[in-house]
Amino acid sequence: MAGPPPDIPGQKMTGDDLWALRHQVAGLLNRSNTNFPGAQPVSFAARHMLELQKQDYFVCEKSDGIRCLMYLTTDPGNMEEATFLIDRKNEYYHVQGLHFPKSAEREKAAAFHTDTIFDGELVNDIINDPISGPKPQLMYLVFDCLVLNGDRLMHQTLDKRIAKFRDIVFNPYEMLYNETFKEEKQYLPFLVDWKRMERGYGIEHMFKQTLPQLPHGNDGLIFTCRTSPYQFGTDQHILKWKSAEENSIDFRMTLEFPLVEPDSDDEDQSPYTDYSAIPHVNLAIYGGDRGGDIPYGNMFVDVGKWEELKALNEPLNDRIVECSLIEGNIWRFMRFRDDKREANHVSTVESVMESIQDKVSEEDLIRASKAIKDEWKKREKETIEKQKVAMARPAVNGQIDQVRNGSVGMKRKLEGNDETARGTDGV
């Protein structure tokens, strides 16, 4: 059974410390804006089937967890290693007890990475212990690397960004805690791994092998263009696919209780709010520059669901809720999204609604995988041919230079090698 989304561990930063951290991260990313820099996907629509054929895309599972960037730095107070998680609200959490060595060798293990930013997700894995049975294990799964020891990687291809994280950061970390100091692994606040990706045509393997074996929750697939640079904010080259029943929108929920007219014999004849009734649940999306929240619809709440929500004994009004659209154009409550400050932006809602209407299914994706593979292999072959030509050109040019410099024998020049001449003409 998959685990529920986790809470973010660590101490939440405030005041001047928070201000300083946000500016440090913005500086590392060469940005003037200090808001959350994470790339955001668009919802998968039918038109994206062709996009997967036109360009190289990697695909991985979409974890049901908490999206966080990880920032590795040095504490200016004591010059020791410091690790922060950054959530989508742009809050920073100082997580103690983590160590990312530059080397796993015992005598070199104290040196650590700094000025480094990863992108990933916190998930609750359920691990089957042969003695104690199933138990939760908090994991942080890395799926991108933006900056590594001060070196900006955003404009490198995705496979290179992931390879550098794996080789330079993850491999020493894994060796340190699995071999050199394996007794320390149990004290880590969470474990770190990297999210395995398939080529874009490995869709059937994802559905039939990867997803059924996941130890944590999952609600779809993520397709990421291999050659696109890392994009702050909405990225049209990161595609989020969800099944029809999982496609959802995050709304701001407000409660509107009915007004009741007083009885004729009541002393106060003013209408009053009936807080014991089931409220009218209004849903709004975020308009951004269009001006705050925009009314969008209503959420269906019956007696059972309202009693369930009241039993939480938590504030309900003005919270962000994730809802799915069910038959009859009815929005149904899925869960609270307290990790977000705002509802989905109007552009995101438009994207999700296109996805809901197109209803691209698992079967549709699997059927398209052959065409995706054929086009990938075609581009791959063209790239290899270009590399062969590029590698051969210096040798041919070298022969031409020898002829021009008189270094080729006079007899060969006078004979006039037709094959060489044709080759030279082709350069």
Task: Report residue 386: phi and psi, to 5°.
Answer: -65, -40
Q: Which of 62, 240, 242, 340 is catalytic?
A: 62
> Are the CB atoms for 316 and 307 separated by under 8 Å?
no
Q: Which pLDDT band, with edges at 50, 70 and 90, does 106 fall under?
A: confident
Tokens of 262: 């007083």
pLDDT tens by residue, 149-205: 999 999 999 999 999 999 999 999 999 999 999 999 999 999 999 999 999 999 999
E-strand spans in 79-167?
81-86, 92-95, 116-129, 133-148, 151-152
Q: Please report, for residues 72, 168, 175, 245, the alpha-carbon distance to residue 101 in angstroms, rounded to integers and kept in the order given.
A: 11, 9, 10, 43
Which span out of 21-35, 256-270, 288-302 was modeled with the highest average pLDDT?
Answer: 21-35
Average pLDDT for residues 37-63, to the nearest whole number? 96
Task: Report residue 200: phi and psi, to 5°.
Answer: -55, -20
Handedness of CA 153, 155, 158, 159 (dihedral sign): negative
Q: With 70 as the cut, is the pLDDT of residue 232 above it?
A: yes
- Is 62 annotated in the active site? yes
Nearest to 4 by CA among 60, 93, 66: 66
Distance CA 72, CA 147 (A): 10
- 3 state SS of 361: coil
Would you list the DSSP string of 179-210? IITGGGGGGSSSEEEE---EETT-HHHIIIII
Average pLDDT for residues 9-27, to the nearest whole number? 96
Instruction: Write down the mean pLDDT value for the chain.
Output: 88
Tokens of 158: 């995705």
Distance CA 367, CA 13 (A): 48
pLDDT value of position 419: 35
pLDDT value of position 270: 72
pLDDT tens by residue, 320-358: 999 999 877 889 999 999 888 899 999 999 999 999 899
pLDDT value of position 1: 43
pLDDT tens by residue, 110-123: 999 999 999 999 99
Q: With 90 as the cut, is the pLDDT of residue 416 above it?
A: no
Q: Which pLDDT band, with edges at 50, 70 and 90, does 261 fall under?
A: confident
Quote the crossing angle between the two packed helices 418-426 and 362-404, to the nearest 10°.
130
- 3 state SS of 427: coil
Helix (H) or strand (E) holding 380: helix 362-404
Query: What 8-state DSSP symbol labels residue 288?
Result: G
Distance CA 407, CA 426 (A): 22
> Are the CB atoms for 298 and 280 separated by under 8 Å?
yes
Q: Please report, for residues 74, 79, 80, 175, 183, the alpha-carbon distance to residue 103 in angstroms, rounded to integers and kept in the order given.
A: 17, 19, 17, 9, 18
pLDDT tens by residue, 351-383: 999 998 999 999 999 999 999 999 999 999 998
pLDDT tens by residue, 395-413: 555 555 555 555 444 333 3
Q: Which pLDDT band, with edges at 50, 70 and 90, does 57 fall under?
A: very high
pLDDT tens by residue, 138-155: 999 999 999 999 999 999
Higher pLDDT, 399 or 253: 253
Enumerate residues 6+ apart whose C-beta is below 8 A from 6. Answer: 65, 66, 122, 123, 124, 138
pLDDT > 90: percent of the chain? 72
> Are the CB atoms for 251 and 97 separated by under 8 Å?
no
Task: Report residue 333: phi and psi, to 5°.
Answer: -65, 135
